[in-house]
């Protein structure tokens, strides 16, 4: 009995976009990425087994690499990872039902790309600064130093709470600083939740291509200024994952 297959949908693009011939799709083995066209729109898809597991790291990498490569040449609307439909007719129905919405969204993202700024505190440097600025916390740290956990449990709990609160305040201040610094260079900004308790800032920015160098330069300058306390990563250019809203991709 033949294995049932469906189409994994990566994103919506203008109809004249051609998939890169050697672009690997999701699945094992990877499916060939093709375009299903309808009017002025197309969907980038590849065939996958309906019963096959999706969600391996390699699948997510293939999904992101295809979309990030596409945004280098054309606007793209990422479709939620893991979206699988029954076949070409279902893709055409999707494009037909939301043609105006998709077309308007593609116009909105024309010439725009996403960058994500992820900054993380150096834990030792941050805590040293917290203790230097907070005599009560420094006193507790002295009290528990070299003491058994069982006999200093209460002090350790209080110290942990004080440090945790100070880290949260530092993160809020740094995130605001990054947003205030970079938002004027972007069309839009989207704060993201921290991925680690030592995160200093995590935000996505939608940037016009003609301001890309200016934006990247501002991030590099920030990273240099804060390098003693913070390690900064700049991810991009990316497809506009954080800016394609649900109403642009659904009814």
Is 157 a member of any domain?
A: yes
Is 212 a member of any domain?
A: yes
Boundary residue ending a domain (70, 90, 110): 110
What token pair was written down for 181?
């610094």
Q: Which position has the higher pLDDT, 145 or 35?
A: 35
38-47, 130-139, 216-225: the lowest-pLDDT one: 130-139
Return the closest-CA partner of residue 238 out of 207, 214, 213.
207
Boundary residue ending a domain (60, 82, 110): 110
pLDDT at 149: 73
Is 251 a member of any domain?
A: no
Is 249 a member of any domain?
A: no
pLDDT digits (tens, 9 = 90+) for 137-187: 887 777 777 777 777 778 888 888 888 899 999 999 999 999 999 999 999
Instruction: Say whether both 101 and 144 belong to one domain.
Output: no
Instruction: Say whether both 119 and 82 belong to one domain.
Output: no
Instruction: Say whether both 27 and 61 belong to one domain.
Output: yes
Helix axes 135-144, 123-133, angle to 10 degrees: 110
CB 90 within 8 A of CB 180: no
Instruction: Say whether both 91 and 121 belong to one domain.
Output: no
What token pair was written down for 139?
């006193």
Instruction: Say whether both 44 and 100 belong to one domain.
Output: yes
Instruction: Say whether both 129 and 211 belong to one domain.
Output: yes
Average pLDDT (106-129) is 95
Instruction: Say whether both 232 and 118 belong to one domain.
Output: yes
Instruction: Say whether both 145 and 201 belong to one domain.
Output: yes
pLDDT at 30: 84
Question: What DSSP line would sit under the chain, residue for residue?
Answer: -PPPEEEEEEEEEETT----TT-B-STTTTPBPEEEEETTEEEEEEEEETTS----HHHHHHHHHHHHHHTTTS--EEPPTT-EESSHHHHHHHHHHTHHHHHHHHHHHTTEEEEEEEEEE-HHHHHHHHHHH-HHHHHHHHHHTT--TTTSHHHHHHHHHHHHHHHHHHHHHHHHHHHHHHGGGSSEEEE---SSTTEEEEEEEEEEGGGHHHHHHHHHHHHHHTTTTEEEEEEEEE--TTT--HHHH--
pLDDT digits (tens, 9 = 90+) for 41-60: 999 999 988 776 777 888 99
Q: Which position has the higher pLDDT, 54 or 109?
A: 109
Instruction: Say whether both 89 and 195 belong to one domain.
Output: no
Is 177 a member of any domain?
A: yes
Is 98 a member of any domain?
A: yes
Domain limits at 122? 113-238
Instruction: Say whether both 177 and 222 belong to one domain.
Output: yes
Instruction: Say whether both 173 and 230 belong to one domain.
Output: yes
Residue matched to tokens 């528990």: 144
Residue matched to tokens 């350790």: 156
Is 247 a member of any domain?
A: no
CB 43 within 8 A of CB 9: yes
Is 181 a member of any domain?
A: yes
Instruction: Say whether both 231 and 133 belong to one domain.
Output: yes
Boundary residue ending a domain (110, 141, 176): 110
Q: Please tell me the total count of domains within the chain.
A: 2
């Amino acid at each position: 009995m033949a294995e049932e297959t469906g189409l994994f949908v990566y994103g919506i693009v203008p109809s004249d976009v051609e998939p890169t011939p050697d672009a690997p799709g999701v699945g094992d083995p990877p499916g060939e990425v093709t375009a299903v066209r309808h009017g002025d729109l197309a969907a980038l898809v590849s065939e996958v087994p309906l019963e096959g597991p999706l969600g391996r790291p390699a699948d997510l990498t293939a999904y992101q690499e295809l979309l990030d490569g596409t945004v280098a040449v054309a606007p793209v609307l990422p479709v939620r990872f893991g979206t699988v439909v029954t076949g070409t007719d279902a893709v055409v129905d999707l494009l037909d039902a939301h043609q105006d919405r998709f077309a308007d969204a593609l116009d909105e993202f024309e010439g725009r790309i996403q960058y994500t700024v992820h900054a993380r505190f150096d834990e030792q440097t941050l805590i040293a600064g917290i203790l230097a600025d907070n005599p009560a916390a420094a006193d507790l740290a002295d009290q528990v130093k070299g003491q058994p956990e069982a006999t200093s449990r209460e002090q350790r709990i209080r110290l942990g709470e004080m440090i945790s609160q100070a880290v949260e305040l530092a993160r809020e201040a740094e995130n605001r600083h990054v947003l205030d610094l970079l938002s004027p260079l972007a069309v839009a900004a989207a704060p993201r939740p921290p991925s680690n308790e030592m995160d200093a800032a995590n935000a996505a920015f939608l940037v016009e291509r003609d301001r890309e160098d200016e934006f990247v330069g501002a991030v590099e300058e920030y990273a240099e200024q804060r390098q003693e306390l913070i390690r900064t990563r700049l991810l991009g250019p990316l497809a506009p994952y954080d800016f394609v809203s649900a109403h642009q991709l659904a009814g």
